């Protein structure tokens, strides 16, 4: 009698410390999960998904049980199935991500024209560790929370346009498509902390810098940010840090090692680096 295999939407093995991506994806996209059980037990799982901002990219994650036999046969079979899905959906890019150290399947992918294209450090600090120096007190009329920004359509449009352009400019290895500003506003407004200081205005009342925060009183996360000048952005960030210290227990962020601003921030604050997160992309 054949053993009863678990339902694919329920099969989430005990997650090793460096296998986060596959388990997140399986929970989020259970209908896109495929299981491999050539010997009557599950040896591997894969899952794929798409992102509306990156519609031509096929994202995927794979978990192979370390005890699985015949991995030299299993690995090519899994990749072949993923390639067929990319052809089916007319995707011209294939991308996978996971935490360091990469597990054997992702290491094997790097012999199959997948290359490391991005490295992100995830870091966190307790806000009581923030030792803020005395900063210039800005006129309150020059600082807007996101909720205040939404009450001023002209300023809101400027910030939305700039932040969307910044996002698209950062995703060079996985270009984002242009979308209507209303759609972009819906995406970021769902996560942004509405009452946190978010925009610095210049003397003429135009946006000089913005920085979008997300999260809760337990943890605030740094997000998209930019400024016309380094001084203006620094002034806004110092204002935000003072607000965060009074309104949240923790501060976290994702810091790209190839972005100068990210590295400057992570080095200037007492962050604890928790994980190193790598993106692999299939080269044409």
- Residue 135 is predicted with a pLDDT of 55
Residue 260: pLDDT band with limits 50, 70, 90: very high
pLDDT digits (tens, 9 = 90+) for 181-237: 999 999 998 899 999 999 999 989 999 999 999 999 899 999 999 999 999 999 999
- Residue 83 is predicted with a pLDDT of 97
Average pLDDT, the chain: 88
Mean pLDDT of 111-130: 95
- Residue 19 is predicted with a pLDDT of 53
Residue 18 has pLDDT above 70, yes or no: no
- Residue 206 is predicted with a pLDDT of 95
pLDDT digits (tens, 9 = 90+) for 147-186: 999 999 999 999 999 999 999 998 889 989 999 999 999 9
User: What are the sequence ranges of the domains in the chain?
Assistant: 20-112, 124-277
In the numeric block, which tokens belong to residue 143? Answer: 């600082």
In the numeric block, which tokens belong to residue 71? Answer: 């991995």
Mean pLDDT of 252-272: 95
- Residue 13 is predicted with a pLDDT of 43
Let me know if the fold of 20-112 is the same as that of 124-277: yes
124-277, CATH topology level: Aminopeptidase (3.40.630)
Radius of gyration of the chain (CA): 22
3-state SS of the chain?
CCCCCCCCCCCCCCCCCCCHHHHHHHHHCHHHEEEECCCCCCCEEEEEEEECCEEEEEEEEEEECCCCCCHHHHHHHHHHHHHHHHHHCCCCEEEEEEECCCCHHHHHHCCCCEEEEEEEEEEEEEHHHCCCCCCCCCCHHHEEEHHHHHCCHHHHHHHHHHHHHHHHHHCCCCCCCCCCHHHHHHHHHCCECCCCEEEEECCCCCEEEEEEEEECCCCEEEEEEEECCHHHHHHHHHHHHHHHHHHCCEEEEEEECCCHHHHHHHHHCCCEEEEEEEEEEECC
- Residue 20 is predicted with a pLDDT of 67
Residue 50 has pLDDT above 60, yes or no: yes
In the numeric block, which tokens belong to residue 254? Answer: 């994702």
- Residue 101 is predicted with a pLDDT of 86
- Residues of the chain above pLDDT 70, percent: 90
- Residue 138 is predicted with a pLDDT of 58
Residue 59: pLDDT band with limits 50, 70, 90: very high
Identify the CATH number of the domain defined by range 20-112.
Answer: 3.40.630.30
- Residue 112 is predicted with a pLDDT of 96
Comparing 8 with 62, which gets the higher pLDDT? 62
- Residue 27 is predicted with a pLDDT of 85
- Residue 7 is predicted with a pLDDT of 37
pTM: 0.87
In this predicted structure, which of 70-79, 132-141, 238-247 has the lowest mean pLDDT? 132-141
In the numeric block, which tokens belong to residue 172? Answer: 């060079």
pLDDT digits (tens, 9 = 90+) for 102-111: 889 999 999 9
Mean pLDDT of 133-152: 80
In this predicted structure, which of 135-139, 248-252, 280-284 has the lowest mean pLDDT? 135-139
Q: Which residues have C-beta within 8 Å of that of residue 96, sequence separation ≥ 6? A: 21, 59, 60, 61, 62, 106, 109, 114, 279, 280
Residue 17 has pLDDT above 60, yes or no: no
Q: Which residues have C-beta within 8 Å of that of residue 129, sequence separation ≥ 6? A: 270
């Amino acid at each position: 009698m054949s053993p009863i295999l678990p339902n694919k939407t329920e099969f989430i093995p005990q997650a090793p410390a460096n296998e986060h991506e596959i388990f997140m994806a399986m929970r989020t996209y259970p209908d896109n999960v495929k299981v491999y059980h050539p010997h009557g037990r599950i040896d591997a799982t894969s899952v794929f998904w798409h992102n509306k901002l990156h519609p031509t990219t096929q994202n995927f994650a794979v978990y192979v049980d370390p005890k699985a036999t015949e991995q030299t046969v299993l690995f090519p079979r899994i990749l072949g199935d993923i390639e067929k899905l990319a052809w089916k959906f007319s995707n011209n890019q294939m991308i996978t991500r996971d935490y360091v150290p990469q597990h054997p399947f992702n290491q094997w992918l790097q012999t199959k024209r997948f290359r490391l294209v991005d490295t992100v450090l995830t870091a966190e600090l307790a806000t009581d560790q923030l030792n803020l120096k005395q900063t210039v007190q800005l006129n309150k009329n020059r600082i807007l929370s996101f909720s205040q920004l939404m009450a001023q359509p002209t300023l809101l449009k400027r910030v939305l346009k700039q932040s969307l352009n910044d996002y698209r400019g950062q995703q060079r290895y996985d270009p984002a498509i242009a979308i209507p500003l209303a759609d972009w506003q819906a995406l970021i407004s769902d996560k942004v902390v509405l009452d946190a200081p978010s925009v610095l205005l210049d003397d003429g009342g135009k946006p000089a810098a913005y920085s979008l925060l997300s999260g809760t009183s337990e943890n605030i996360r740094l997000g998209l940010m930019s400024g016309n000048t380094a001084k203006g952005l620094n002034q806004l960030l110092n204002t935000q840090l003072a607000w965060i210290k009074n309104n949240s227990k923790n501060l976290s962020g994702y810091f790209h090692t190839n972005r100068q601003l990210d590295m400057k921030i992570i080095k200037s604050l007492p962050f604890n680096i928790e994980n190193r997160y790598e993106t692999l992309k299939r080269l044409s």
